[in-house]
């Protein structure tokens, strides 16, 4: 792999091999009972709960004299020594997509009624239209999981709507009119547009089968599209751009032509030797976004497994582990750095965990939990993203089980459900202007405002 620029390499912080998750998913109420990321009340004792994204912690809450203000309560274990801060609830707590996130109960927060996840929304669906309320809730649940992970990794997550109009990110959560044009899912200059029908299980499974994808989920879509945003935010025009091109390919290749060729001819037969998914072969931008989504998949799933004590060595699952040679080829150093060891712990722990979980899902007659094989070139790309997150975003030191690796169940298609259909055509297609400019509760889509933005949008159907 092409190494990051020397100036960045010198700034690497040694990685700690630790079982501590970056984004914790298991919590305890003040009564000692387990509570979970989405909970807003403890079912055992009735204590109100709220999620503090800055502390990455679900906190038990008590009322104060001000009915709009809640105070954190003492709890056991993680968070036991934290200050008993005061909070306000997100304005979406009483919406059709109830949000359990908290804001500080201070003067600046009073000017911002929405939490760090909800304030990213520019447009939300009309909950009175069809079954939009149920679909919107599922989308928000997936988005909150994504945003909580991004915050925990210390990636920049500022609202383009209300905080950073130049470099922030925002979401249009839209649905196609019954007899109107299709919504286009994609990213364009900090705007992520999502067709909320992807939250409908029947629709999503139909599309997954039609597109011959082994994996298609809401959070997969979101992780893929946010990957495009972070490429633009962290790579484009930076000192990471040249080494990124050396590894993922030249992003200056014509995007529309590349997608047309991909949809006409499919992925090369040997795509598994160098890519995380078939769709990643379409264009270097898609290779980056698919690999980025895979990295977030791995880190969050390992975090969840560690939160519940599920990461452990299994003698029954014996793979040849990836080593520093997989990351650096013939240029691998004689002894691995702490950073290399930390990433190898992640990748090898991931393969071991997914090998076991694939067998569990097969025992239930369900599709594989992780239907992909990771080649050495794909692992090098994941390592590049790991380095970028650690260095540019200040992500916490990471680790995992340092045992076992190899391959897992075979699979084709997109790792994120990011595949897409034919280019062009009146109802969709790259660069096609569909719908009108949305307002709150709208169902149209935003026409791309420039050729560059048009090329950044693609059809997911």
Q: Is the pLDDT of residue 330 over 80?
A: no
What pLDDT score does 326 carry?
87
Please give the Cα distance from 249 to 231 (Å, whole number): 13
**For residue 411, is pLDDT > 50?**
no
Q: Dihedrals φ, ψ of 237, to 5°?
A: 75, 5
CA distance 172 to 125: 9
Q: Is the pLDDT of residue 399 over 50?
A: no
How far apart, in whole angstroms, are the C-alpha atoms of residue 394 and residue 274? 28
Specify the range with the lowest mean pLDDT, choosing from 120-129, 376-385, 395-404.
395-404
* DSSP codes of every residue in 215-253: ---HHHHHHHHHHHHHIIIIITTSTTHHHHHHHH--TTS
Provide the 8-state DSSP code for 457. B
Only one residue has tokens 């977030």, namely 296
Q: Higher-confidence residue: 428 or 303?
A: 303
- Considering 148-152, 200-204, 368-372, the range whose residues carry the highest mean pLDDT is 148-152
pLDDT tens-digit readout, 268-301: 999 999 999 999 999 999 999 999 999 999 999 9
SS3 431: coil
Structure tokens at 107: 């003067």
User: Do the Cβ atoms of 160 and 122 come closer than 8 Å?
Assistant: yes
Closest CA relative to residue 118, chosen from 93, 155, 135, 138? 93
Buried residues in 72-96 as b, exposed as e (16+ CB within 10 A):
beebeebbeeeeebbbbbbebbebb
Pick 405 or 146 by higher pLDDT.
Answer: 146
Q: Could you tell me if residue 54 is inside a domain?
A: yes
Q: Which residues contact 113 (CB under 8 A, 6 or more apart)?
A: 90, 91, 103
Question: How many CA atoms are closer than 13 Å to the CA of 122, on its beta-carbon side?
Answer: 25
Residue 86 belongs to some domain of the structure: yes
Do the domain assignments include residue 50? yes
Query: How many angstroms separate the CA atoms of 385 and 194, rounded?
Result: 24
3-state secondary structure 170-221: EEEEECCCCCCCCCCCEEECCEEEEEHHHHCHHHHHHHHHHCCCCCCCHHHH
CA-wise closest residue to 99 among 39, 170, 54: 39
Domain count, the chain: 1
Q: What is the pLDDT of residue 401?
A: 29
Give the per-residue pLDDT at 451.
32
Q: Which structure tokens are listed for 242? A: 């040249």
The answer to whether the CB of 124 falls within 8 A of the CB of 173 is: yes
pLDDT tens sequence across 39-54: 999 999 999 999 999 9
Residue 417: predicted pLDDT: 56
Q: Which of 5-9, 77-81, 232-236, 400-404 ranks highest by mean pLDDT? A: 232-236
pLDDT in tens, 91-141: 999 999 999 999 999 867 667 899 999 999 999 999 999 999 999 999 999
Output the CA torsion 384→215→416→343 (10° steps). Answer: -20
Q: Evaluate whether residue 35 is within a structural domain.
A: yes
| pLDDT higher than threshold 70 for residue 5 | no
What is the value of pTM for the model shown?
Answer: 0.82
Classify strands 121-123 and 170-174 as parallel, antiparallel or unpaired.
Answer: parallel
Q: What is the pLDDT of residue 397?
A: 36
Q: Give the model's confidence band at 22: pLDDT under 50 very low, under 70 low, under 90 confident, else very high.
A: confident
Residue 344 resides in a domain = no
Q: What is the per-residue pLDDT for 80?
A: 78
- Residue 195 phi/psi, 5-degree rounding, is -75, 115
Query: Which structural domain range is residue 61 located in?
Result: 28-119
73 or 325: which carries more pLDDT confidence?
A: 73
pLDDT in tens, 158-184: 999 999 999 999 999 999 988 888 898
Q: How far is Cα 52 from Cα 435, in angstroms, rounded to an integer?
A: 37
User: What φ, ψ does residue 384 adopt, rounded to 5°?
Assistant: -60, -45
Two tokens at 106?
Answer: 């201070």
251 lies in some domain: no
Output the pLDDT for position 319. Answer: 72
Q: Which of 6-10, 200-204, 253-257, 315-319 has the highest mean pLDDT?
A: 253-257
Percent of the chain residues topping a pLDDT of 90 = 58
User: Does residue 288 lie in a domain region?
Assistant: no
User: What confidence tens digit (pLDDT) does each residue in 81-99 have?
Assistant: 888 999 999 999 999 999 9
- Tell me if 112 is assigned to some domain: yes
Query: Which residues are registered as beta bridge partners of 195?
Result: 174
Cα–Cα distance for residue pair 367/362, rounded to 1 Å: 7
Consecutive H or E run containing 290: helix 284-307
Q: How far apart are CA 306 and CA 20, in angstroms?
A: 7
Buried b (16+ CB within 10 A) or exposed e, 129-156: eeebeebbbbbbbbbbbbbbbbbbbebb
Query: Mean pLDDT score of the chain, rounded to an integer?
Result: 81
């Amino acid at each position: 792999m092409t190494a990051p620029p020397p100036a960045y390499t010198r700034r690497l912080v040694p990685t700690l091999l630790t079982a501590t998750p970056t984004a914790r998913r298991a919590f305890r109420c003040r009564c000692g009972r387990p509570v979970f990321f989405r909970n807003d009340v403890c079912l055992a004792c009735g204590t109100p709960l709220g999620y503090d994204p800055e502390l990455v912690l679900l906190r038990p809450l008590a009322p104060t004299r001000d009915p709009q203000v809640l105070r954190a309560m003492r709890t056991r274990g993680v968070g036991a020594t934290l200050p008993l801060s005061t909070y306000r609830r997100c304005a979406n707590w009483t919406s059709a997509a109830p949000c359990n996130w908290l804001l500080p109960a201070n003067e600046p927060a009073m000017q911002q009624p929405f939490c760090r996840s909800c304030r990213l929304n520019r447009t939300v669906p009309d909950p009175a239209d069809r079954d939009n309320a149920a679909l919107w809730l599922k989308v928000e649940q997936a988005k909150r999981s994504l945003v909580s992970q991004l915050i925990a990794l210390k990636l920049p997550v500022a609202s383009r709507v209300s905080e950073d109009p130049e470099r922030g990110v925002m979401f249009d959560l839209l649905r196609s009119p019954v007899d109107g044009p299709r919504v286009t899912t994609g990213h364009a200059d900090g705007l992520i547009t999502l067709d909320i029908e992807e939250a409908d299980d029947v629709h999503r499974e139909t599309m997954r089968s039609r597109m011959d994808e082994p994996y298609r989920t809401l959070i997969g879509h979101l992780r893929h599209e946010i990957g495009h945003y972070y490429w633009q935010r962290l790579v484009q025009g930076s000192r990471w751009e040249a080494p990124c091109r050396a590894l993922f390919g030249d992003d200056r290749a014509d995007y529309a032509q590349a997608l047309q060729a991909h949809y006409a001819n499919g992925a090369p037969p040997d795509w598994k030797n160098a890519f995380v998914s078939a769709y990643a072969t379409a264009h270097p931008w898609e290779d980056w976004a698919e690999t980025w989504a895979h990295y977030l998949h791995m880190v969050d799933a390992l975090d969840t497994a560690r939160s519940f004590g599920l990461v452990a060595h299994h003698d029954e699952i014996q793979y040849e582990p990836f080593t520093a040679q997989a990351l650096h080829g013939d240029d691998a150093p004689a002894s691995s750095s702490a950073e290399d060891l930390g990433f190898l712990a992640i990748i090898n722990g991931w393969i071991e965990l997914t090998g076991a979980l694939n067998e569990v899902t097969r025992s239930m007659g369900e599709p594989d939990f992780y239907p992909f094989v990771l080649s050495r070139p794909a692992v090098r790309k994941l390592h590049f993203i790991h380095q970028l997150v650690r260095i540019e975003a200040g992500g916490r030191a990471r680790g995992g089980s340092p045992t076992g690796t190899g391959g897992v169940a075979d699979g084709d298609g997109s790792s994120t459900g990011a595949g897409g259909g034919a280019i062009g055509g009146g109802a969709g297609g790259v660069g096609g202007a569909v719908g009108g400019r949305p307002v709150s509760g709208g169902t149209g889509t935003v026409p791309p405002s420039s050729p560059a933005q048009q090329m950044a949008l693609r059809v997911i159907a």
